[in-house]
């Protein structure tokens, strides 16, 4: 298979900083598009993978799965895009397309494992996939999204992971007007959860441990904020919420949040704490509550989310950085020192 070289930023080992490197991309095949990457969001998964914290990282590793750019080449059978179009790529670049989940459009739950944008298995080149911290990427058009023209492009990048990861559960549990929705944790995911749930018509209640986030939660669209460290505030809100989106990736007591749910309410995890979370049986049994989880979203859902964000003018709150600042950004990310997503201006890699 024909390949070409592009500049990228990645790491050769878990303990080394990210640095500039050269990687190969395949030349477009019939169904592929080539995208000149303009912006790439920085997801916490990037850091976990670069540092092998989830194990199984194949080196060299080039992270990045919140990609927006412009189409520079299209294969002979491509019909969704033409050269010059805006385009986006999220967490997946392919899936088996044959299993029950793929057949009904839930590629994120592909029974054979979807192909992740980075650290997945590239079936064309028979090696690891490389992500968006690079000049260009080549992807099958079926896994490429259209980007609304009216949105700020840099602030659109985080929609591809943080946006759809919160959109998918909100849609799956049919959140809309008349619902009281709790969002736990205001970070990259949580801040998108607030904006999307609000735009869907829900009454949004942010639940946070930090008094410093109260004002910002309201600015993002929260109707109410509960300080989870205040027992009285928590007690006053027992049995009031229809749904909770739990965006916290640190260890935390989910039983405290389950008490806030009404009968038949659901708490869905989208954050991924490292260790198991203990659940008391009586947090669920007396009110038939559901403890659930959800990951990213399908290609169809991702497109619906982008179109919805275009209509409602929703993007992420971002801090734009140069690729050369990525290692500092990772350190700040670990401290929660970002409001609320770093996005890399990829022209900094070209210069
Ligand atoms: Zn991500
Ligand atoms: Zn499949």
**Peptide linkage before 113 cis (omega within 30 of 0):** no
Which ligand is closest in space to the CA of residue 107? Answer: 2
For tokens 């670069």, the residue is: 50
Alpha carbon of 9 to ligand 1 centroid (Å): 17
Alpha carbon of 142 to ligand 2 centroid (Å): 14
Helices (H), the chain: 44-50, 100-103, 153-156, 162-172, 188-199, 214-220, 231-236, 254-258, 281-284, 299-312, 326-334, 347-350
Alpha carbon of 110 to ligand 1 centroid (Å): 18
- CB atoms inside a 10 Å sphere around CB 212: 8
Give the model's pLDDT for residue 31: 98
Instruction: Tell me the per-residue pLDDT of 151-163, one tens digit each, with 9 for 90 and over.
Output: 999 999 999 999 9
Helix 188-199 to helix 299-312 angle, to the nearest 10 degrees?
70
Which ligand is closest in space to the CA of residue 119? Answer: 1
Which ligand is closest in space to the CA of residue 102? Answer: 2
Alpha carbon of 200 to ligand 2 centroid (Å): 30
Give the model's pLDDT for residue 129: 98
**Peptide linkage before 60 cis (omega within 30 of 0):** yes
pTM: 0.97
Give the model's pLDDT for residue 351: 78
User: DSSP label at 147?
Assistant: -
Phi and psi at residue 205, to the nearest 5°: -115, 115
Interatomic CA distance for residues 152 and 296, integer angstroms: 22
Alpha carbon of 294 to ligand 1 centroid (Å): 13
Alpha carbon of 12 to ligand 2 centroid (Å): 30
Instruction: Tell me the pLDDT of the chain averaged across its residues.
Output: 97
Give the model's pLDDT for residue 232: 97
Alpha carbon of 31 to ligand 2 centroid (Å): 18
Which ligand is closest in space to the CA of residue 249? Answer: 1
As given in the structure block, the two tokens for residue 269 are 């995890």
Low-confidence ranges of the chain (pLDDT < 70): none
From 149, 3, 140, 150, select the one nearest 79 (Cα to Cα): 140
CA-based torsion, 281, 283, 288, 294: positive or negative = negative
Give the model's pLDDT for residue 274: 82
From 137, 98, 105, 97, select the one nearest 118 (Cα to Cα): 137
Alpha carbon of 235 to ligand 1 centroid (Å): 34
């Amino acid at each position: 298979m024909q390949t070409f070289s592009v500049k990228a930023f990645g790491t050769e080992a878990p303990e080394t900083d990210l640095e500039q490197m050269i990687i190969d991309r395949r030349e477009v095949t019939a169904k592929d598009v080539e995208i000149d990457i303009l912006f790439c969001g920085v997801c916490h998964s990037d850091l976990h993978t670069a540092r092998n914290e989830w194990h199984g990282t194949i080196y060299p590793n080039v992270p990045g799965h919140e990609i927006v750019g412009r189409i520079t080449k299209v294969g002979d059978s491509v019909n969704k895009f033409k050269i010059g179009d805006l385009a986006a790529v999220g967490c997946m670049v392919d899936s088996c397309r044959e299993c029950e989940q793929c057949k009904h459009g839930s590629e994120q739950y592909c029974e054979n494992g979807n192909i992740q944008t980075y650290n997945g298995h590239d079936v064309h080149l028979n090696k690891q996939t490389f992500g968006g911290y690079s000049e260009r990427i080549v992807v099958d058009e079926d896994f490429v999204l259209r980007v609304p023209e009216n949105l700020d492009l840099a602030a659109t990048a985080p929609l591809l992971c943080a946006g759809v990861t919160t959109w998918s559960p909100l849609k799956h549990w049919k959140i809309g007007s008349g619902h009281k929705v709790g969002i736990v944790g205001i970070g990259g995911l949580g801040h998108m959860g607030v904006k999307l749930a609000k735009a869907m018509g829900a009454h949004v209640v942010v639940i946070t441990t930090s008094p410093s986030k109260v004002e910002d939660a309201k600015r993002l669209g929260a109707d109410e904020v509960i300080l989870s460290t205040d027992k009285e505030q928590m007690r006053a809100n027992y049995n009031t919420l229809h749904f909770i989106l739990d965006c916290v990736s640190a260890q935390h007591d989910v039983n405290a949040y389950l008490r806030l749910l009404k009968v038949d309410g659901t708490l869905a995890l989208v954050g991924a704490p490292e260790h198991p979370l203990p659940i008391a049986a009586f947090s669920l049994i007396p009110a038939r509550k559901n403890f659930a989880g959800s990951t990213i979203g399908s290609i169809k859902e991702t497109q619906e989310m982008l179109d919805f964000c275009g209509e409602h003018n929703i993007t992420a709150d971002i801090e734009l950085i140069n690729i050369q600042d990525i290692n500092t950004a990772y350190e700040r990310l670990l401290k929660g020192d970002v409001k609320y997503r770093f996005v890399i201006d990829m022209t900094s890699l070209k210069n």
